[in-house]
Each structure stands twice: as C-alpha cells, then as structure tokens.
Amino acid sequence: MMSCRQVTEVIASDRLVDAPWRRRLTVRLHLLMCQHCRRYAAQLVSIRAATRRLLRQDPGPSKDLEEAVLGLCRDADDKPDDVDREP
C-alpha cells in the first residue's frame, strides 16, 4: 500500500497518467480509503481549473495604464535631447 505522501506526490506531479495500471489501481484504492488524500486530489482539480480559467481571461493592461505610459512616452519625445545629460 502507498503512503499518503507517495500518493500526493504522484497526484501533484501528473505522473499518474503515464503510470502502469497497477500503480493507478493502488492510488485509486488509497483514495477510496483515505478522505484526506481525496480532499487533496479534489483541491488540486479545483486549483488547476481556476488557473486555466484565469489564463483564458487575460484582460491585458488597463486603459488607464496604457494612457499613462503613452503620455510618458510623448513627454519624453517633447524634451530636448540635452536636458537630462550632464556636462
């Protein structure tokens, strides 16, 4: 039988997909018996789903930030080249 530590390492690393059928069966049996590892596995599923949702809805920079950066660039273009230079 696998320990909780071994099961959580396998689940967290996604090595279960490529594992032999006996390893997958052992992990499933452990999950049937251990509510803590089941809860951990469910939390990982939730975290991965939330991460995927966040990555899909990348809003980009806000309009205010974009305008502020463009304003700074315009101000820099308006300055003469020798203003910031030291003699």
Residue 27: CB atoms within 10 Å: 21
Tell me the C-alpha distance between 76 and 6, whole Å.
58
pLDDT tens for 17-75 read 888 999 999 999 999 999 999 999 999 999 999 988 888 876 677 778 778 888 888 87
- pLDDT score recorded for residue 79: 63
pTM higher than 0.85 for the full model? no
